[in-house]
Amino acid sequence: MTGLKPFRLCLFCTVALIFGIGSLTGCSGNKKDPRDSIRTYHQLPSLPDEIKAEKDLPKEMTSDDYERLGDAYLSKGNLHMAFLKYDKALQISPGNTRVLYKKGLTFLIANKNKEAIKEFRVLIKKDPKYALAYEGMGQSFFQMKKHDEARRYLQKAIKLNPELWRAHAFLGVLYDQQKKYALAIQEYDQAIQLRPEEGFLYNNLGVSYSFAGKYKEAIIAFYKALQRNYSANRVYNNLGVVLSKLDRYEEALDAFRKAGNEAQAYNNLGCIYMGQGDFEQAVSCFEKAIDINPAFYVKANENLERARMALIKGEHVYEKK
């Protein structure tokens, strides 16, 4: 990767740069692919306070009534019931593009991407300028790992409506995967201008800066993510990685502590040193991890043995710049 050489990660290390996800889904790290899917959806209203259950609704339901009920179920995560209510609404008003979009959105959130694409295509046929339908298509193809199609539909969505911040965020991830870091940074900047409160956007921007070798800019972005209370353990992990690239090892160790605990911090720093070929420092860090928490022995021991063997063999002797 330009500007950031991949780390030779040792067993149980958790020091890969980690991308963030949208604020409306749960957070889950992925060591194999640092880019989590940004499966977010537009905030939908809950049932009004005066309506506590379906039995309280009018006996003669209109399309709008079913849509509102579908919105309530969707906002609560009950995708099956949301789909059924949107389907009822469309039976009464088949040409309602707003409900067609929400029906496609329900499939998208359920990760039923082929069904989502089918619904969005029906919607686009009815209204070729419905920007959110193109964004939904882009997200569906993204989840299917069909990145060329995803990029094409996301770009179309933005062309129709430049204020679709999620489309910018998805494009940022796609450009990162293609190592087009300048374009990724540009997309995250656009998303941040539209949605400055979203901490995960700053985290992803920081990762892009890191891949581009712009470590000082990355650190600034990570601190902005922390200021917005985004997934502290994830951001501090990223901070530790980048600080180590600047030889700021004490600060990196402190960041790793905040991402986990003392033993994990020394294990992670040991992995950093090992990736740089500084096996003496790596051995010292792994030994400290085990001393601090003997239960951590199982995780750190193999790293320690590998570092010791490399040191004995004189492999990749580390040279300070």
Contact 34, 19 (CB under 8 A): yes
Contact 69, 97 (CB under 8 A): no
Residue range 300-319: average pLDDT? 64
Contact 252, 269 (CB under 8 A): yes
CA distances from 68 to 41, 136, 237 (A): 16, 21, 42
Q: Which residue has the higher pLDDT, 129 or 41?
A: 129
pTM of the model: 0.79
Give CA–CA dist 235/240, Å, rounded: 9
Q: Residue 296: what pLDDT?
A: 63
Q: Residue 54: what pLDDT?
A: 60
Residue with tokens 């374009």: 183
Structure tokens given for 121:
């295509």
Domains belonging to the chain, first-starting first, are: 39-161 (1.25.40.10)
Q: Residue 305: what pLDDT?
A: 72
Q: Residue 245: what pLDDT?
A: 94
pLDDT above 70 coverage of the chain, percent:
77
Q: Which amino acid is at 284?
A: S
Residue range 75-104: average pLDDT? 95
The DSSP code sequence of 210-258 is: HHTT-HHHHHHHHHHHHHTT--HHHHHHHHHHHHHHTT-HHHHHHHHHH
- pLDDT reading at 24 higher than 60: no
- pLDDT reading at 310 higher than 50: yes
- pLDDT reading at 75 higher than 80: yes
Q: Residue 55: what pLDDT?
A: 60
Q: Residue 300: what pLDDT?
A: 62
Q: Residue 30: what pLDDT?
A: 32
Please write down the HEC assignment for all residues of 154-213. HHHHHHHCCCCHHHHHHHHHHHHHCCCHHHHHHHHHHHHHHCCCCHHHHHHHHHHHHHCC
- pLDDT tens for residues 202-235? 999 999 999 999 999 999 999 999 999 998 999 9
- pLDDT reading at 9 higher than 50: no
